[in-house]
Amino acid sequence: MLFARALPGASGTLVAALLLALMAVLAGAAALPESVTSDEVAHIGAGVSYLQKLDLRMNAEHPSLPKVLAALPLVIRGVHADCTHPSWSFGVKFFSSVLGAVGVRRMAAGEME
């Protein structure tokens, strides 16, 4: 109240508007790097693959339910993951050549860490 009385009229309104704009810029700049959505791309992609492939192996280090719930609107709208790209089968080919077929089966069963 004291500040509003010190700057009457249009100049007080202008100062208040400038302070609010400065606060919005500073709050937005501070929230940007610490946003919860910084790794949402991996979670939503995993959720889409969970719903389409019914396979929960992609990004298994986090709970699957939030990822499925985040991807549900996309799948309802018709988004499809392109699982035919060679990068999807590269891991299986690579690990089978390095570990052999027995090692891949053990890894898929969760026996190897």
Q: For the chain (length 113 residues), average pLDDT per consecutive 10? A: 59 89 90 68 86 84 88 90 75 69 62 53
User: Does residue 17 share a domain with residue 30?
Assistant: yes
Residues 72 and 106 placed together within one structural domain of the fold? no
Give the range of the structural domain holding residue 101, as residue numbers without chain letter. 85-113
CA distance 74 to 68: 10
pLDDT of residue 24: 93
Q: Are 71 and 48 in contact (CB under 8 A)?
A: yes
Whether residues 62 and 89 share a domain: the answer is no
Together in a domain, 47 and 77: yes
Q: Are residues 75 and 52 in the same domain?
A: yes
Residues 71 and 44 in one domain: yes
Residues 6+ apart with CB under 8 A from 44: 67, 70, 71, 74
Two structure tokens written together for 51: 């719903």
What distance in Å separates the CA atoms of residue 2 and residue 82, rounded to the nearest whole number?
62
Question: Same structural domain for residues 52 and 75?
Answer: yes
The pLDDT of residue 23 is: 95
Same domain, yes or no: 72 and 107:
no
Asked if 43 and 74 sit in the same domain, the reply is yes
Return d(Cα 108, Cα 59) in angstroms, integer: 14
Both 93 and 75 in one domain: the answer is no
Is there a contact between 81 and 52 (Cβ–Cβ < 8 Å)? yes
Residue 95 shares a structural domain with residue 60: no
CB neighbours (10 Å) of residue 88? 14
Give the chain's domain count: 3
**For residue 22, what are its two tokens?**
């400065």
Token reading at 101: 């077929």
Per-residue confidence (pLDDT) for residue 30, from 0 to 100: 82
